[in-house]
C-alpha cells in the first residue's frame, strides 16, 4: 500500500501536478474529438471541396477556349492555378480551424459552464489552452497529409519540390499559427463574441495573404499589410518548397520571418492570456456567457 505522502494529487501543486493536469486536458480533448465521428468525413472532404470552389471559378474565368487563362498567365507569370490555389487554401484552412478549435476551447468551456469550476482547481491555467491545442495539432497534421495526397491524386497537382523543405516551413509556422490561436482564445474569454473575431482574423488572411492570387495583383497598400502577416510567408514558403525546385535559399527569408513571428505571437498569446484571465476574474466574467 502506498504511503499517504507519496500520493501526488492536484491539491499539491507542483510541476508533476501541472503535467498531470495538462495530460488530463489533452486526454479529455482527444476523447471529445473522436467522440463525434464526423471528423473523419471532414478530414477527407474539406481538403477537396474548399479549394474546389475557387478552382472551378478559375476554370469558368478561363473560358471555353482558354482565352481567360492566357490573360491570367500574362498577368501573373504562372502556368497553372490548381496547385497554387490548393496550397493557399490549405494554409487558410489550417489557420481557420485553429481559430475555431483552439480559440474556442475556453469559450466552449464557458458555454458548458465548466470554465469557472476548472479555474478554481490549483493548476497552471495556461495548461487548459496548451492542452487543447495538442489533439488539434495532431488532427491538423493528419489533415495536411490527406490534403497533399488528395491534391496529388484527385487534382493532379505535381509536387515537384522537396517534402523535407515543406515540412520545415510547416514546423516553422506552428508557433505563429498557434500563438495567434492562444491570443485569440484569451480575447474571447472576455469579449465573448467569438464568431465575429474568427471572421475578422480569417477574413484578413483571406484577403491580404494571396490564397488564390499572387500578391502583386493587390494594390500597394494591401501588399504592405500582407508583409505583417505570418500567413503570407507560410503560403509563399509552402508553395515554393512544395511546388518548385528552387531549394532552401528560396525559402530562407520565409523561415526567418516565421521564426520571428512565432516568438512574437507566442509571447503575445501568453501575455494576453494572463492579462485577460486576471481581468475576467476581477470583473467576475469567467462564468458568464
Residue with Cβ nearer another protein (4 or 65): 65
Q: How far is the CB of 82 from another protein (least distance, A)?
A: 12
Site for another protein in 73-92 (CB under 8 A): 75-76
* Grid coordinates belonging to 239: 508553395
Considering only 2-10, 57-65, 128-136, 259-267, which stretch makes contact with another protein by CB under 8 A?
A: 57-65
Q: Which residues contact 184 (CB under 8 A, 6 or more apart)?
A: 99, 102, 103, 197, 198, 201
Judged by beta carbon, residue 62 or residue 121, the one nearer another protein is: 62
Radius of gyration of the chain (CA): 21
Check if the beta carbon of residue 269 is closer than 8 Å to that of residue 177: no
Which of 30, 33, 39, 126 touches another protein (CB under 8 A)?
A: 39
Site for another protein in 127-186 (CB under 8 A): none
Cell matching residue 185: 482564445
SS3 of 231, please? helix
* 230 contact partners, CB below 8 Å, separation of at least 6: 173, 176, 177, 180, 257, 258, 261, 262, 265
Judged by CB under 8 A, does residue 111 bind another protein?
A: yes
Burial class, 151, CB count within 10 angstroms (exposed 0-12 / middle 13-18 / buried 19+): buried
Under rule CB under 8 A, residue 252 binds another protein = no
Of 1, 65, 220, 282, the one binding another protein (CB under 8 A) is: 65
Nearer to another protein, 207 or 252 (CB): 207
DSSP state of 226: H
Q: Which one of 64, 120, 153, 249 is in contact with another protein (CB under 8 A)?
A: 64
32 lies in the site for another protein, by CB under 8 A: no
Compute how many other C-beta atoms are within 10 angstroms of the C-beta atom of residue 112.
9
191-230: contacts with another protein (CB under 8 A): 192-193, 195-197, 199-200, 202-203, 206-207, 211-214, 217-218
With binding defined as CB under 8 A, does residue 54 bind another protein? yes
What is the smallest separation between the CB atom of 70 and another protein, expressed in angstroms? 9
Shortest Cβ 132–another protein spacing (Å): 17
How many binding residues for another protein (CB under 8 A)?
49
Using the minimum distance from each CB to another protein, give the nearer residue, 154 or 260. 154
For residues 103 and 120, give the distance between their C-alpha atoms in angstroms, rounded to a whole number.
Answer: 21
Here the cell at position 194 is 467569438
**CA pair distance 282, 289, nearest whole angstrom:** 16
- Cα–Cα distance measured from residue 257 to residue 253, given in angstroms and rounded to the nearest whole number: 6
Q: Which stretch binds another protein (CB under 8 A): 11-19, 65-73, 161-169, 170-178?
A: 65-73
- CB closer to another protein, 19 vs 154: 154
Give least dist CB 76 to another protein, A. Answer: 5
The separation between CA 104 and the C-alpha centre of its own chain, rounded to angstroms, equals: 13
Which of these, 21, 52, 176, 6, lies nearest to 102 by C-alpha position? 176
What residues line the site for another protein (CB under 8 A)?
36, 38-39, 41-42, 45-46, 49-50, 52-54, 56-69, 71-72, 75-76, 111-112, 192-193, 195-197, 199-200, 202-203, 206-207, 211-214, 217-218
Amino acid at each position: 500500500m502506498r504511503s499517504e505522502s507519496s500520493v501526488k494529487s492536484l491539491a499539491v501543486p507542483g510541476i508533476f501536478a501541472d503535467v498531470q493536469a495538462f495530460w488530463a486536458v489533452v486526454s479529455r480533448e482527444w476523447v471529445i474529438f473522436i467522440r463525434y465521428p464526423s471528423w473523419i468525413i471532414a478530414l477527407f472532404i474539406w481538403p477537396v471541396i474548399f479549394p474546389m470552389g475557387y478552382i472551378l471559378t478559375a476554370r469558368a474565368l478561363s473560358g471555353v477556349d482558354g482565352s481567360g487563362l492566357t490573360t491570367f498567365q500574362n498577368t501573373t507569370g504562372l502556368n497553372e492555378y490548381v496547385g497554387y490555389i490548393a496550397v493557399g487554401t490549405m494554409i487558410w484552412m489550417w489557420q481557420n480551424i485553429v481559430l475555431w478549435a483552439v480559440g474556442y476551447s475556453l469559450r466552449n468551456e464557458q458555454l458548458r459552464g465548466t470554465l469557472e469550476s476548472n479555474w478554481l482547481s490549483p493548476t497552471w491555467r495556461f495548461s487548459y489552452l496548451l492542452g487543447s491545442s495538442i489533439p488539434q495539432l495532431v488532427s491538423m497534421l493528419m489533415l495536411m497529409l490527406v490534403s497533399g495526397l488528395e491534391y496529388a491524386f484527385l487534382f493532379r497537382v505535381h509536387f515537384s519540390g522537396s517534402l523535407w523543405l515543406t515540412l520545415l516551413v510547416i514546423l516553422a509556422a506552428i508557433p505563429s499559427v498557434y500563438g495567434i490561436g492562444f491570443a485569440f482564445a484569451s480575447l474571447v474569454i472576455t469579449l465573448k463574441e467569438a464568431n465575429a473575431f474568427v471572421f475578422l482574423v480569417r477574413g484578413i488572411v483571406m484577403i491580404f495573404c494571396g490564397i488564390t492570387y499572387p500578391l502583386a495583383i493587390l494594390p500597394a497598400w494591401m501588399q504592405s499589410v500582407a508583409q505583417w502577416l505570418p500567413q503570407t510567408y507560410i503560403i509563399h514558403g509552402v508553395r515554393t518548397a512544395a511546388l518548385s525546385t528552387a531549394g532552401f535559399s528560396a525559402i530562407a527569408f520565409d523561415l526567418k520571418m516565421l521564426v520571428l513571428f512565432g516568438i512574437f505571437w507566442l509571447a503575445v498569446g501568453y501575455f494576453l492570456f494572463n492579462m485577460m484571465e486576471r481581468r475576467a476574474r476581477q470583473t467576475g466574467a469567467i462564468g458568464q456567457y
